[in-house]
Amino acid sequence: MLRLIVIGSAAGGGFPQWNSNDPASRRARGGDPAAPARTQSSIAVSADDRQWILFNASPDLRQQINSTSALLPRNGKRDSPICSVVLTNGDVDHVAGLLTLREAHPFSIYATSRVLSVLQSNSIFNVLNADLVEKRDLQLGVDSEIKTRGNEPTGLVIEAFPVPGKVALYLENASAGANFGTQAGDTIGLKIMSRDGAAHFFYVPGCAGMTDDLARRLKGAPLVLFDGTLWRDDEMVVAGVGQKTGKRMGHISVSGPEGSMAAFESLAVKRKVFVHMNNTNPILLADSPERAVIGRAGWEAAHDGMEISL
């Protein structure tokens, strides 16, 4: 059995974003039920309902824990069911929450050597006491069992694989050419499995495009949580809120012939859920025509607190 909770369904900035005065953000601030607020990108998964593994640690983590009963302390004076954190890239929205976990609680961190080196080279992460928090190098293309800091099994096994993407914004090297110095391991997708093999799903919150390898992996999957950052590639430019396209940011768009809806059409995935949705994406709004379009294509837009059991 696997139980997963989407604790944050929005992309970097969240919804409403702090400085956004767009109609959608105004609706969210006004408590419009069709525009529910969403925190930044993270899911929590458990194979035993006892030990919980975070996949990405967002800047909103404190709020996410406090509003998720499964993640609250249970025993004694200091306690947490959170025993591990797995990172899919080094973006601010996926790593800043590690700083929230700094109160002398033992846990393990799994990430590729590329992402671990980001933590290593930013001394603020030294606030995680190395005696209590162990960083583990996640290998690509092999099954890795997630273990607690004390090496207890959690019943969860993951396989990490590279997906098209881009190095984190704050690490971009402008002189390194069109890919800004991006290397393999900067952005990964994950197959998340119960150790007994009874259940699995895929978590791919950041992805710049569909490849043959990714299509082969996802084909026929029972559940995929996938990058829903933008509805269309030039959405932020057209809205007048930024210069960057989705392609420039390393995100495939939802719509269009090169978009994720089209790319998934032939993959026969049983349940498809968009996560990591930007505040400009109209699928955030329950009453938008774009939400109806994804619904007709068999997709759901995740919301904070969404729970799925497999």
Residues in touch with Mn ion (CB under 5 A): 11-12, 91, 93
Rounded-to-10 torsion of CA 59, 61, 62, 66: 150
Q: Which stretch binds ligand MLT (CB under 6 A): 87-95, 122-130, 131-139, 283-291?
A: 87-95
Is residue 233 a contact point for ligand MLT (CB under 6 A)?
Answer: no
Kindly report the length of the chain: 310
Among 249, 294, 302, 308, binds ligand MLT (CB under 6 A): 249
The least CB distance from residue 177 to ligand MLT, in Å, is: 19
- List Cα–Cα distances, 25 to 17, 31, 36, 161, 249, in angstroms: 7, 10, 9, 34, 21
Q: Does 235 bind ligand MLT (CB under 6 A)?
A: no
| Peptide bond before residue 16 is cis, with ω within 30 degrees of 0 | yes
**Which residues, in sequence order, are CB contacts of 298 under 8 Å at separation 6+?**
272
92 binds, among Mn ion, ligand MLT, none (CB under 5 to 8 A by kind): ligand MLT
> In this chain, which of 37, 99, 169, 171 binds ligand MLT, going by CB under 6 A?
169
C-alpha 173/C-alpha 190 separation (Å) is 26
Choice between 166 and 232, CB closer to Mn ion: 166
Among 11, 35, 115, 160, binds ligand MLT (CB under 6 A): 11
Contact predicate 61/92, CB 8 Å = no
- Under the criterion CB under 6 A, does residue 171 sit at the interface with ligand MLT? no
Of 155 and 206, CB closest to ligand MLT: 206
Q: How far apart are CA 203 and CA 287, in angstroms?
A: 26
The number of residues that bind ligand MLT (CB under 6 A) is 9
**Given the complex with Mn ion, which of 59 and 282 has the nearer CB atom?**
59
The binder of 237, among ligand MLT, Mn ion, none, by C-beta within 5 to 8 A per type, is none
Binding partner of 214, given Mn ion, ligand MLT, none, CB within 5-8 angstroms per partner class: none
206 binds ligand MLT (CB under 6 A): yes
Binders of ligand MLT among residues 57 to 86 (CB under 6 A) are none
Residue type, 181: G
Backbone angles phi, psi at 70, to 5 degrees: -65, -20
Element (H, E) at 224: strand 224-227
CA distance 225 to 272: 6
Give the C-alpha distances (Å, rounded to integers) separating 1 from 101, 155, 170, 198: 27, 9, 38, 7
Q: Which residues bind ligand MLT (CB under 6 A)?
A: 11-12, 91-93, 169, 206, 249-250
